[in-house]
Chains A and B, each alone.
Chain A
């Protein structure tokens, strides 16, 4: 069982928006602004999409955005495109004993 809880799957039609949640605790997501999100197409290297909760690396589409409320972080993808279909993982710092924890992943299907 992963430390952070994500829905197993979400889906949306092209052009729509979807949000993937990542629920942790006051020991990880709730205490630090160090949540990152990764896009993973099977067989390829995971790709960093969001870091420090809300920041986008250079080259990542502004259709991807991150937010946090309490112990839950969220990734929103607007204007869904077929190439967004992938698995998405969240990650958070969890203190100087546990360090880094990941979510179980969410499979995004673009209908």
Chain B
């Protein structure tokens, strides 16, 4: 059974960089059928797609966040990571990592999410 687990600091000060890692177990991140993505949910709000990455390193990002987002992959560790720079309180959210099936356009496996609070 595929499992994804987010990890990283729960508190980030503005305007520092938020860094999270998603560890994939029970399957290979190098599978050609999937992208891997980050989604977030601010308190009391809906979900927002942040961006996705292929095992080769090919990425695409939400245009509204593109200038601040970097997603990378480490196939040797079966992990992918998110960096969000110049954070503000508006970036406070539960951050989820998920597997993305490109052909069907859906996120079929998700992590449980990690709350990141941006506060000085």
A residues within 8 Å of B by Cβ?
2, 6, 32, 34, 36, 38, 43-48, 51-52, 55, 57, 89, 91, 93, 97-105
Contact = CB atoms under 8 A, between A and B. Distances in A.
A101 B46 CA distance: 10
Size class of the contact patch on chain B: 20 to 34
B90 interface: no
20 contacts: A2-B47, A32-B105, A34-B106, A36-B104, A38-B107, A46-B47, A46-B96, A48-B106, A48-B107, A51-B101, A52-B104, A52-B106, A89-B46, A91-B47, A91-B49, A98-B62, A98-B63, A100-B49, A103-B46, A104-B46
Contacts of B47: 2, 38, 46, 89, 91, 102-103, 105
Given A36-B105, A45-B96, A93-B105, A104 B45 contact: yes
A99 B113 CA distance: 22
B112 A45 contact: yes
Given A45-B110, A101-B49, 20 more contacts: A2-B45, A32-B105, A38-B47, A43-B112, A45-B4, A46-B110, A51-B105, A52-B104, A52-B105, A52-B106, A89-B46, A91-B49, A91-B107, A93-B105, A97-B63, A98-B62, A99-B60, A100-B62, A102-B49, A103-B47
Contacts of A101: 49
A88 B112 CA distance: 16
Nearest to A47: B110
Nearest to B62: A99
Contacts of A2: 45-48
